[in-house]
């Protein structure tokens, strides 16, 4: 899979690093195809928060562990799909390579959360706190329609936004590992990568 030269990262917040256009169209297409094929064995579903509220995004996972949530068990990682009971499919090699280059070459990820945004789907401000080691970075890959991504310091205060386009790679590390972040909205029609539009977000983590 080809990708674009990494170049210097933008760093709008200490530890929050963005590589715009990190994956070229050929690399995006190959990764899209690999993920959609994997999702045949782990169909996306709409999870429910611990309070019983359905989320607006559909989710699935890749790797040894997957992030899930429901009213009974709350937020957690587990090795199997909550509806099929089957293990999650493996993480594509292209994603593991991105992690080794931009996140942590010594500690590979063991979870890849797959979020599918359609129409009015969004993600409220939150922190990624369910992992065993909060010193390990989080790496996010955007495919499809551009998202308006909101972020702010972990301890509170004003938030800012930036646009995450198809092929962008974002890393949360160091002081930004626990920054608050979310997706305000999509820009429909900004990409033709996904059949029918929408956004596919792939978030690599060390969960265990």
* pLDDT tens for each residue of 15-40: 999 999 999 999 999 999 999 999 99
Is 103 inside a domain boundary? Answer: yes
How many domains does one find in the chain?
Answer: 1
For residue 77, the Cα-to-chain-centroid distance in whole angstroms is 15
Question: 178 with 154: CB under 8 angstroms?
Answer: yes
Residue 74 belongs to a domain? no
What domain range includes position 115? 10-43+57-62+91-205
Is residue 126, in this structure, part of any structural domain at all? yes
| pLDDT exceeds cutoff 60 at 68 | yes
Q: How far is CA 126 from the centre of its chain?
A: 13
What is the rounded average pLDDT for all residues in the chain? 95
119: confidence class by pLDDT, cuts 50, 70, 90: confident
pLDDT band at 1 (very low <50, low <70, confident <90, very high): very low
What confidence category does residue 3 fall into, taking pLDDT thresholds of 50, 70 and 90?
low
What pLDDT is stored for residue 2 in this prediction?
Answer: 47
* 141, pLDDT greater than 50: yes
Residues contacting residue 41 through CB under 8 Å, at least 6 positions apart: 86, 89
Residue 162 confidence (pLDDT) above 60: yes
The percent of residues in the chain predicted with pLDDT above 70, rounded, is 97
Q: Indicate whether 5 pLDDT > 70.
A: no
CATH number (domain holding residue 34): 2.60.120.590
Mean pLDDT of 83-90: 98
Residue 132 lies in a domain: yes
Return the percentage of the chain with pLDDT > 90, whole number: 94
């Amino acid at each position: 899979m080809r990708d674009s030269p990494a170049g210097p990262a933008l760093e709008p917040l200490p530890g929050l690093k963005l590589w715009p256009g990190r994956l070229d169209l050929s690399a995006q297409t190959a990764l899209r195809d690999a993920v959609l094929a994997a999702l045949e064995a782990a169909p996306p579903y709409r999870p429910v928060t611990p309070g019983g509220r359905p989320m607006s995004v559909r989710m699935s996972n890749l790797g040894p562990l997957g992030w899930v949530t429901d009213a009974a068990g709350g937020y957690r990682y587990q090795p199997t799909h909550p509806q099929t009971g089957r293990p999650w499919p493996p993480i594509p090699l292209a994603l593991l390579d991105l992690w080794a280059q931009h996140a942590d070459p010594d500690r590979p990820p063991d979870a890849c959360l797959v979020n599918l945004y359609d129409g009015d789907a969004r993600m409220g401000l939150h922190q990624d706190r369910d992992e065993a080691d909060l010193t390990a970075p989080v790496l996010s890959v955007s495919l499809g329609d551009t998202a308006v991504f909101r972020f702010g310091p972990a301890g509170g205060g004003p938030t800012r936004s930036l646009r995450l386009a198809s092929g962008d790679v974002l890393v949360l590390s160091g002081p930004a590992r626990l920054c608050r972040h979310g997706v305000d909205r999509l820009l429909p029609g900004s990409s033709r990568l996904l059949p029918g539009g929408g956004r596919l977000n792939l978030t690599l983590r060390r969960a265990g």
